[in-house]
Structure 1
Amino acid sequence: MPTRLLIIADTHLPLRAKALPEEVWAAVEEADVVVHAGDWVDVALLDELEARSARLVAVHGNNDHGVLRERLPLVAEAEVEGLRLGVVHETGAKQGREQRCDAAYPHLDVLVFGHSHIPWDTTTPGGLRLLNPGSPTDRRRQPHCTYLTAVVDDGGLGEVTLHRLPPRVPPRG
């Protein structure tokens, strides 16, 4: 049976939003593995994701301090159905990213990263798949807040889907 992944990063709670969108929480409930590529900001989301997800693979980001840095690594690696998955917050500038990641992570099949808030899906010359889900709460200069879902089947990464969230409506008052 395929393994379902939910991939998020740069949630910045509660600075950019009060909570994750309900659509993302529904995806948490459906996922077999939740991947978070850092910039949580507050430990409450980590606690909630640990409680509500079947399996969490996560790292801290540059905006995470204190308890988040104590509980989360800079780089995480996991095997999912034979797929060698890595997670890191930052990979550096867009220029040269593929070559840097090939050199730094030659043993991985997929590397998930965050930081830029820009969705990214490429395969390096060395065959490493690079995925950035964007942000479900802080679109910055992107047209939409986003996250990714993916399927792992028989040791390979199958369908990867970029989900665009509807714009948040500010409360009236």
Structure 2
Amino acid sequence: MRLLLMSDTHLPRRAKELPAPLLAQLPRADAVFHAGDWVDVATLDLLERRSARLVAVYGNNDGPQLRARLPEVAYAELGGLRFAVVHETGSAQGREARCAARFPDVDVLVFGHSHIPWDTTTAGGLRLLNPGSPTDRRRQPHCTYMTAAVADGRLSDVRLHRLPPR
């Protein structure tokens, strides 16, 4: 099972549309994760139409229309792994312990908000993934998204993809 992970798209504020390399991944993905801060409903509509399965939440920049359609926290079981998606996890300091306490029955937590890619595993085995942002790099050198694979209850081939400058 192939996964596509993104967050903080901020359309159309930060870009007019999702980058072509990211859109090219949609048909290959069995599940698409979006960890909030869509800003526009059109991007949600697009991903709902073009994704085999969408696991998504709203973020702090998302208005009432998105909040009416998306939860604050989403859960999914895929390929024998338990996933959760949330927009914000707080500061980097203490993140692993905080998330492990908040999500004790989860194998993988996908989050956003910071626009900073993150891939760590807690002492208890919770994998924390932040794909960064495909449209707003902020203080990062590149805009980014992630792909991964799930098989037999294992997450593998987690890759951070750097997008070319605009």
Fold conserved between structures, TM > 0.5: yes
Tell me, in whole angstroms, the C-alpha distance in 1 between the residues paired with 2:140 and 2:54.
26
Tell me, in whole angstroms, the C-alpha distance in 1 between the residues paired with 2:2 and 2:98.
28
Aligned twin of 1:58: 56
Aligned twin of 2:150: 152
Amino acid at match of 1:47: D
3-state DSSP class of the match of 1:57? Answer: strand
Displacement over 4 Å in runs of 4+: none
Tell me, in whole angstroms, the C-alpha distance in 1 between the residues paired with 2:27 and 2:7.
17
Amino acid at match of 2:73: V
Q: Note the C-alpha offset of 1:61.
A: 0.1
Amino acid at match of 2:96: E
Tell me, in whole angstroms, the C-alpha distance in 1 between the residues paired with 2:26 and 2:65.
23
Aligned twin of 2:23: 25
Q: Percent identity?
A: 72
Matches within 5 A, 1:23-172: 23-168=21-166
Tell me, in whole angstroms, the C-alpha distance in 2 between the residues paired with 1:29 and 1:21.
15
Tell me, in whole angstroms, the C-alpha distance in 2 between the residues paired with 1:137 and 1:85.
24
Which structure 2 segments of 5+ residues have no match? none
Q: Note the C-alpha offset of 1:28.
A: 1.1
Aligned twin of 2:2: 4
Which structure 1 segments of 5+ residues have no match? 169-173
Q: TM-score, normalised by structure 1?
A: 0.95
Number of residue equivalences: 166
RMSD: 0.4
Aligned twin of 1:171: none
Can you list the C-alpha shifts for 1:4-52, whole angstroms capped at 9, x where unaligned?
0000000000000000001000011110100000000000000010000
Q: Note the C-alpha offset of 1:137.
A: 0.2
Tell me, in whole angstroms, the C-alpha distance in 2 between the residues paired with 1:37 and 1:29.
19
Tell me, in whole angstroms, the C-alpha distance in 2 between the residues paired with 1:14 and 1:129.
31
Q: Note the C-alpha offset of 1:159.
A: 1.1
3-state DSSP class of the match of 1:99? Answer: helix
Amino acid at match of 1:12: H
Larger radius of gyration: 1
Q: TM-score, normalised by structure 2?
A: 0.99
Q: Note the C-alpha offset of 1:95.
A: 0.4
Tell me, in whole angstroms, the C-alpha distance in 2 between the residues paired with 1:66 and 1:102.
29
